[in-house]
C-alpha cells in the first residue's frame, strides 16, 4: 500500500508540474506583440508579397499599376487580343466565330523582375509588328500617413521588328518596313490612390517620342491614362481604363478597355474588351479604332 501511495503522489506532482508549464507557455504565446507603426506595417506587408486586395496585379488592361514587386521575385503576363470586331455582324455570327477566337490574335509575353528593392525591370514582346519594349519602374512613394498617393516613375524604349535597326541605303534612313524597326522612347509615372481594400484609382501621364513613323515626321505624343479597379468580392474585380491624348500625334480614337477579373492564388485572369490591341506605351499612343471592339484576356502569374 505504501508503494502505491508513493507512486500516486509522484504522478500527482508530475501532473501539477506539467500543468504549470503549459499555463506558462500559453501565457507567453498569447502575450500581445508590440504594435508596429501603420507605415511600417504596410511596408512589410508589401515586401513579403502579401496579396493586396485593392491592387492585386501589376497592370489594369494595358496601363501599369503601382503594385510593388518584392526583391528577387518575378511576374509573368500573357496577353491576347482576338482580331474579330464584335461591333460587326450579329450576335449569332459572332457566336459562330467564338467571339473572335477563330480570327487570330495579337499576343504579348511579358516578364518583370525586381533586382533591387523598389525597382522593377520589364521585358514585353508583342506580336503586333514584332514589338519589343524594355522598361523600368521605380516605386518612389507609397500611400500612407505621409503621402495620400503612391507614385512610381517609369521609363521605356520599344522597337518594332524585334528591335532591329532601320536599314540604311545610300546613306539615308528608309524608315519603317518589313526589314526595318521603329523605336519609341517613353517617360512617365503611375500615380495611384487606394480606398480601403475595395477600390484603386490610377492616373498615368506618359510622353512617347517618335510615336509616328517617318512618313508622319517623327512626331511625339502625350497621353494621360486614367483607370481603376473595383473589388466586387474577395476574388472578383471589374477593371476599366481610357488613355486620351493631350498633345502631339493623335490618330484615331483614345484607347479604352474594360473587363472582369478573377484571382486564384498567384494567378490573375482578366477577360477584356477594348478598341485597341495595344500593350506597350507606343501602341497606346497610337490610339484605338473607332467603332471597334475586340475581346481578349490577360493572364498573370506571380512568382512569390
Class of domain 57-303 (CATH, top level) = mainly beta
**How many Å is the maximal CA-CA distance in the chain?**
116
- H helix and E strand count, the chain: 4, 15
Q: What gap in Å lies between CA 280 and CA 63, rounded to an integer?
A: 8
Q: Which residues contact 192 (CB under 8 A, 6 or more apart)?
A: 55, 65, 66, 143, 149, 150, 200, 201, 202, 203
Indicate the SS3 state at residue 80. Answer: strand
Q: Which residues of 215-226 are buried (b: 16+ CB within 10 A; e: fewer)?
A: eeeeebbbbbbb
Mean pLDDT in runs of 10 for the chain (304 residues)? 41 40 38 45 54 94 97 97 86 71 87 97 96 97 94 97 65 46 90 97 97 70 98 96 96 96 94 97 95 95 93
Indicate the SS3 state at residue 293. Answer: coil
Q: Note if the pTM is more than 0.75.
A: yes
Phi, psi for residue 94 in degrees, rounded to 5: -65, -35
**Which residue ranges make up each domain of the chain?**
57-303
Q: What gap in Å lies between CA 220 and CA 252, rounded to an integer?
A: 15
Alpha helix ranges (H) inside the chain: 2-29, 38-47, 91-96, 281-285
Amino acid at each position: 500500500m505504501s508503494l502505491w501511495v508513493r507512486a500516486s503522489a509522484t504522478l500527482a506532482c508530475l501532473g501539477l508540474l506539467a500543468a504549470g508549464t503549459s499555463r506558462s507557455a500559453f501565457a507567453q504565446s498569447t502575450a500581445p506583440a508590440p504594435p508596429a507603426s501603420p507605415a511600417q506595417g504596410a511596408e512589410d506587408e508589401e515586401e513579403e508579397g502579401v496579396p493586396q486586395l485593392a491592387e492585386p496585379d501589376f497592370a489594369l488592361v494595358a496601363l501599369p499599376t503601382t503594385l510593388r514587386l518584392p526583391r528577387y521575385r518575378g511576374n509573368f503576363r500573357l496577353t491576347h487580343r482576338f482580331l474579330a470586331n464584335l461591333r460587326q455582324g450579329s450576335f449569332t455570327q459572332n457566336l459562330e466565330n467564338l467571339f473572335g477566337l477563330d480570327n487570330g490574335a495579337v499576343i504579348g509575353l511579358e516578364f518583370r523582375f525586381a533586382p533591387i528593392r523598389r525597382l522593377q525591370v520589364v521585358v514585353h514582346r508583342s506580336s503586333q509588328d514584332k514589338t519589343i519594349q524594355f522598361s523600368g519602374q521605380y516605386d518612389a512613394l507609397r500611400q500612407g500617413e505621409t503621402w495620400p498617393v503612391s507614385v512610381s516613375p517609369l521609363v521605356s524604349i520599344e522597337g518594332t521588328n524585334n528591335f532591329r535597326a532601320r536599314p540604311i541605303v545610300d546613306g539615308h534612313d528608309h524608315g519603317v518596313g518589313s526589314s526595318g524597326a521603329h523605336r519609341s522612347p517613353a517617360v512617365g509615372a503611375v500615380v495611384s490612390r487606394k480606398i480601403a481594400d475595395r477600390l484603386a484609382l490610377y492616373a498615368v501621364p506618359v510622353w512617347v517620342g517618335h510615336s509616328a513613323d517617318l512618313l508622319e515626321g517623327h512626331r511625339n505624343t502625350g497621353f494621360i491614362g486614367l483607370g481603376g479597379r473595383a473589388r466586387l468580392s474577395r476574388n472578383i474585380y471589374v477593371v476599366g481604363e481610357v488613355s486620351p491624348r493631350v498633345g502631339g500625334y493623335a490618330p484615331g480614337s483614345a484607347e479604352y478597355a474594360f473587363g472582369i477579373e478573377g484571382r486564384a492564388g498567384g494567378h490573375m485572369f482578366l477577360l477584356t474588351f477594348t478598341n485597341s490591341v495595344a500593350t506597350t506605351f507606343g501602341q497606346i499612343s497610337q490610339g484605338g479604332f473607332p467603332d471597334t471592339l475586340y475581346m481578349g484576356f490577360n493572364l498573370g502569374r506571380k512568382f512569390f
